Structure formats: structure tokens, C-alpha cells
């Protein structure tokens, strides 16, 4: 059996999730190829799990000042090259095609009439849910970007027959967190603005990961360039996490029982929906704009929540290598039976999921 998996490379969350899946698939009697797109190949790191992976330019969003710049997004993407790559990708020798919101593989499958399993956070928005609300037009845009014939969405709670628990890549064992130590991951904010905010809180210690950062310590704040292993090491030490409202980082925080504050990327409707949902479920706090007062209030009042999810990477690897014949609804039901969430009954009684 030969499988092709398309990996969206614009965000590290996709890469983390797919690397966990890749490690689970490595123990199965199948051949798996990976195609990654979304950023320049020299900007990827910690890619060992994907073996001799393929690269395509793909599509990406332009971000300026913590907001998505739609005009720049339309201008910076090489649409002609994208459609050339779609047309040139031959899927005839693959028994199964999977995409974690990667558009080249998804569109190649659509054009060649091939079954394509869409797996990941974005696909949670494409079915009926009570806790994830998006306008109809935004749902259509999500579906157009990386179309799939079968969708396996991921979400924090059981809220739809197409939804399974998240894949969490836990690279290091849990340990006692250091009090008043926080991990900060705000890659779309300017590093200077993050620094100016954090130095106003000398009573706390911070580990900051940022694409512009070099490994150094300034005014008691530790800065790190992107590194999944170093991130994991600092993550388990932290009492809380301050991040954008991407899905994977929030899942890791909740699985470890960390306090969580999310600042959604302005103009990114998925992150805005994520932040609203986390706040309404009582799993995290949201801060639409970074501010000294907002951060001070969170430090004073935040409470940690913890979610317990099964080994979804292993379950999905077994499902895929068996031919993905089991209905997604049955797969979903089976995985959620194994999941427990702190105060889960209270969540089910809440108005949001009532």
C-alpha cells in the first residue's frame, strides 16, 4: 500500500500534527510519501519524520502587523505555478491520498477524480457543529482551499459526527511546572512589540519563541528561534502559555493542563472562531489586542483546564492503513468514548452544547 500525505507548511501546527502521524505510520507495513508546501524549503526545520519529502510552493497568507493582508496575499501567491504543480502531480500510483489542508495534493486529487481524505482542524468547520460558528462564505472558502471527498475534522470536544479528538505530539514527559514561568508563542506579532509588553512584568519569567528571535536572554526574558524539540522542553516547564489562536498549540496546552491565553490573528476567521470557542467552553481566555492591562488581568485570574484525549495519531494510522473503510462517524464515536475531559459534564450542560 502506498499513501501520499500533503502537509500544509504555513503553520508549525500542521507540521507538528503530521510528524506525530508520520511517526505512527513508520511502524506500519506501508510506503508513505509526504508533500509539503506553504513556505520556502529553507524555512522548514525538524523535518526528519517526513523522510525524503517533496516540496511545492503552494499557497500562503501574507501577514503584516498581526493581521492578514488580503491584497498582499493575492499578489504574493504564484497562481500560475500553483496550477502547474497541481496539473503535474500524478497520483495514479497511490492507493490513498490524504491532505492536512495542503492545496496542491487536494486539488490534484479533485482533478484526477481520486478519493482524498481531508484531515485536520480546518475540516472541523466543514460539517454541522454547535461550538464552531463561521459565516457560510467563510466555510465555502475553507472548503475551496483544500477540497476533500472525506473529512476528518479535529476539535477539543465531541461536537459532530465528522470530528475526532486532536493529535497531540507529546515529545517529552510531563513534569512539575515552574511557578510564574510562561511560554510565549506569538509568531505573527513583531518581536519588538512582544518584548516591550513582557518587560513590564519582571515578576514573571518568559520563554519566547519567534521566527525573528536568536537564542539570547534580554532583561530576564529567554528568546529562542523556532525549534520543536526546544519548544517542547520549555513548554513542559511553563505554568501557562500565551499564543495566537492556532489549534495545535492550544491542544498541547490543554493536554498538559496549562493556563492558556490566546490572541487571535486579526483577519484570520479560523483563529477568531477558535478563540471565541475556547473562551465560551471555558478552556482558555482570549485577548483580541495585546495590552498591559489585559495581560495583568489574565495573570491574576487565569485557571488551568486539562483535557484527556487518546492516542489519535496511532488510531488514525491504523484506520488509514486498513483502507479507511470504517465510517468517519464510527471512528469519531469510538475515539470520543476513550476521551475524558476535566469537568466534561459541566461542558455538556453548558448552553453552548445544550
Judgement on whether residues 154 and 225 belong to the same structural domain of the protein: no
Residue 173 is assigned to a structural domain of this protein: no
Question: In total, how many domains does the chain have?
Answer: 2
Judgement on whether residues 55 and 16 belong to the same structural domain of the protein: yes
Judgement on whether residues 46 and 130 belong to the same structural domain of the protein: yes
* Domain extent for 236: 181-307
Residue 176 is assigned to a structural domain of this protein: no
Judgement on whether residues 23 and 101 belong to the same structural domain of the protein: yes
pTM (two decimals)? 0.89
Residue 345: pLDDT band by 50, 70, 90 thresholds?
very low
Judgement on whether residues 135 and 24 belong to the same structural domain of the protein: yes
Can you give the pLDDT at residue 171? 64
Judgement on whether residues 270 and 231 belong to the same structural domain of the protein: yes
Residue 143 is assigned to a structural domain of this protein: yes
Between CA 9 and CA 150 the distance in angstroms is 21
Residue 238: pLDDT band by 50, 70, 90 thresholds?
very high
Judgement on whether residues 284 and 200 belong to the same structural domain of the protein: yes
Q: What is the pLDDT of residues 91-110, one digit of tens each?
A: 999 999 999 999 999 999 99
Residue 175 is assigned to a structural domain of this protein: no
Residue 122 is assigned to a structural domain of this protein: yes
Check whether 66 has a pLDDT greater than 90.
Answer: no
CATH number at residue 218: 3.40.50.2000
Q: Which residue would you say has higher pLDDT here, 299 or 128? A: 299
Between CA 109 and CA 105 the distance in angstroms is 6
Percent of residues, the chain, with pLDDT higher than 90: 75
Check whether 348 has a pLDDT greater than 60.
Answer: no
Tally of CB atoms within 10 A around 44 = 18
Tell me what the mean pLDDT of segment 238-255 comes to: 95
Can you give the pLDDT at residue 342? 41
Residues 6+ apart with CB under 8 A from 135: 269
Check whether 158 has a pLDDT greater than 50.
Answer: yes
Can you give the pLDDT at residue 142? 86
Amino acid at each position: 500500500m502506498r499513501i501520499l500525505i500533503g502537509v500544509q507548511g504555513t503553520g508549525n501546527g500542521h507540521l507538528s500534527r503530521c510528524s506525530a502521524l508520520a511517526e505512527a505510520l513508520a511502524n506500519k507495513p506501508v510506503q508513505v510519501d509526504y508533500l509539503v508546501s506553504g513556505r520556502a524549503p529553507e524555512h522548514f526545520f525538524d523535518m526528519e519524520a517526513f523522510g525524503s519529502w517533496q516540496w511545492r510552493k503552494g499557497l500562503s497568507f501574507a501577514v503584516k502587523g498581526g493581521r492578514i493582508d488580503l491584497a498582499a496575499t493575492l499578489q504574493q501567491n504564484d497562481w500560475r505555478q500553483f496550477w502547474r504543480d497541481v496539473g503535474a502531480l500524478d497520483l495514479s500510483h497511490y492507493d490513498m491520498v490524504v491532505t492536512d489542508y495542503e492545496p496542491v495534493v487536494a486539488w490534484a486529487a479533485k482533478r484526477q477524480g481520486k478519493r482524498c481524505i481531508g484531515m485536520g482542524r480546518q475540516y472541523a468547520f466543514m460539517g454541522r457543529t454547535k461550538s464552531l460558528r463561521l459565516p457560510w462564505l467563510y466555510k465555502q472558502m475553507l472548503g475551496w482551499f483544500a477540497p476533500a471527498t472525506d473529512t476528518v475534522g479535529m476539535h477539543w470536544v465531541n461536537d459532530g459526527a465528522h470530528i475526532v479528538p486532536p493529535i497531540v505530539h507529546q515529545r517529552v514527559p510531563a513534569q512539575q511546572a515552574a511557578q510564574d514561568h510562561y511560554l510565549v508563542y506569538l509568531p505573527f506579532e513583531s518581536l519588538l512589540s512582544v518584548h516591550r509588553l513582557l518587560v513590564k512584568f519582571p515578576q514573571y519569567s518568559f520563554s519566547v519563541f519567534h521566527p525573528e528571535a536568536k537564542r539570547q536572554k534580554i532583561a530576564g526574558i529567554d528568546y529562542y528561534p523556532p525549534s520543536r524539540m526546544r519548544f517542547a522542553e520549555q513548554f513542559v516547564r511553563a505554568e501557562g502559555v500565551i499564543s495566537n489562536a492556532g489549534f495545535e498549540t492550544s491542544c498541547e496546552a490543554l493536554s498538559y493542563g496549562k493556563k492558556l491565553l490566546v490572541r487571535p490573528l486579526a483577519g484570520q476567521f479560523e483563529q477568531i472562531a477558535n478563540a471565541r470557542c475556547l473562551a465560551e467552553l471555558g478552556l482558555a481566555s482570549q485577548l483580541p489586542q495585546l495590552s498591559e492591562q489585559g495581560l495583568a488581568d489574565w495573570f491574576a485570574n487565569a485557571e488551568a483546564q486539562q483535557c484527556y484525549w487518546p492516542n489519535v495519531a496511532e488510531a488514525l494510522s491504523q484506520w488509514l492503513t486498513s483502507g479507511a473503510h470504517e465510517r468517519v462517524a464510527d471512528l469519531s464515536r469510538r475515539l470520543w468514548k476513550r476521551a475524558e475531559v476535566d469537568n466534561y459534564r459541566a461542558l455538556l450542560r453548558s448552553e453552548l452544547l445544550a
